[in-house]
Structure 1
Amino acid sequence: MSPMENAKQYVKQRIAPDFHSKRLASLEKLKLDDVLKRKNPYLFKAKAITSAPDLVKQLLLAHLSSQEETLFGAFLESLAIHICEHTYGGKKSTTEGIDLEFSRDNTRYIVSIKSGPNWGNSSQIKKMVQNFNQARRIAGPRAHVIAVNGCCYGKNSSPSQKENYFKLCGQDFWHLISGEPQLYKEIIEPLGYEARQRNDEFEEAFGRLHTRFTTHFTQDFCHPDGAIDWEKIVSMNSGAKSLWQP
C-alpha cells in the first residue's frame, strides 16, 4: 500500500473516534462554572454582550475552539507518526520533547511535531532546542542526526536551519515523513468522512447544552430584570479568597 493510500485509510478509520467522538464527549461533560472560570470576563464585557443566551454561546464557542485545536492537533500528530512508521519504520520517541524518530538515507531524524508554525514563545522554543541537544547526546557522537520542528500546516519563509534544527511546515513536513510531495493535499479529502453526520450529532448536543447553560446562567448570574450581573461573574472568576499582603 502506498503512503498516500495508507494515509487516507488511517484518516477514515481514526477521524471519528480520535476527533469527533472526543469532541462530543468533552462537550457532554462540560460544566458552566468551569467555563466561566477559564475565560476572560473583561473581554466579553468589552464586546458589549448584553443577553444571557449570547454570552453563554460566546463562552461555549471560545471554549470549544481551543478544545478542538488541542484534539485535532493530537490527531494530526498520530497521523504523522503512523505515516512515517509505514514508510520509514518511524516510531513515537521516548525521549523528552521528541515526538517522532526515524531513519532515512543513513540519517537519523528527530522530530518535534506542532500543529502550525506559530506555536510557541522564545522560552518554549529554547526548551525544544534543549530537547534536541539531549536527543543528540543519547544518539551518540557517531550518529548523523537532523532535528526537525515539523508543522502540520502553514508555510515557513525558508526551511533553512535555525540554530541546531530545521523548521519544516506544511508540504515540506509531510514530504519528509512520507517521501510523497503531494501527500499534504491528499489527506484533506478523507477528513470529511462522515463529517456531516457527526456534525449534526454535535450541533444537537450543543443546542441542548446551550439551553441548559442559559437557564443555569440566568438563575445564578443575572439580575431579576434579566440583565447580566457582571460583578458577580468577575467575583467568581477572579475574586481572591483572602487579599495578598506584601
Structure 2
Amino acid sequence: MNDTPDNERRRMVKPPTSGKAAGRGIGHTKLKTAKDRTTSSQKWLERQLNDPYVAQAKAEGWRSRAAFKLMEIDDRFHVLKRGNRIVDLGCAPGGWVQVALKRGAAFVAGVDLLPVDPIPGAELLQADFTDPAVSRQLMDLMHGAPDVILSDLAHNTVGHKQTDHLKIMGLLEMASDFALDNLKPGGAFVAKAFQGGETEHLLLKLKLSFDTVKHFKPKSSRADSSEIYIVALGYKGQ
C-alpha cells in the first residue's frame, strides 16, 4: 500500500489525532526547483504538494493519504470492529495499519516488499506474501483465522497497458485466494481493484463465498485514478 515512489516516501512519527477526511481550499504550490528530477517525479511531487489529503495526513500523523481511503470504507461498511485480528497485505508505509489499530483492532499482521517502520500493536514483515512460507508465517503470527484481510496491493507499472493489467489482476487474484484460504467465517475482505479490469470471474468467486460483495470508490481516491475497492462481507467459510 504505497502511495509514493520508494525514493520519495517520508515517514510520519507524530501519532494520529483524528480520523476526519482532509480539508479543501489549499492554494496551488509549485516546485521551487526541478533539478535532477525526472518529469514524472516532478509531476508526482507537485501533485503531492497540492493534495489536501496529503497535507491532512501529515497534520494528523497518518503515514499516508491512503489512511483516509480505509476510514471512508469503514465508515460506509463497518469493516473494522473492536477486538478484530487483521492481516494487511501490501501494508507499506503503514497508514492502513494505523487506522485499523486506531479503530480498535486487537492485533495487525502486515507484510510488504518494502520496509515499514514499527507500529505498536502490529507485527510487520518485509517479505513477499505470495511465498507460501511467508503466508504460513503470517498465519502463525495471527494464532488463528483473521477477522479481516486488507489488501491495498499495487504492482509497479511498466507503462505497457496489457502487461500492467495482467500484473494487477494477478495480485488481486492472489490476495483473494489468501482471503478465501484463511479468513474466519463471518469475516471481511477489502481489496484494491481497477475500473475496467476483467474482474467478473473474481467477483463471481467472491459472491459465492461472501454474503455481500460491493464496489466502492472513496472520495479520497484521486479523481483521475481508476482504482476502486472490492468490499466483501460475511465470509461463508470453505
Q: Name the TM-score, length of structure 1 as normaliser.
A: 0.31
Report which of the two has the higher share of helix: 1
Report which of the two has the higher share of strand: 2
Instruction: Using CA pairs under 8 Å that are at least 6 residues apart, name the structure with larger relative contact order, 1 or 2.
Output: 1
Q: Name the TM-score, length of structure 2 as normaliser.
A: 0.31
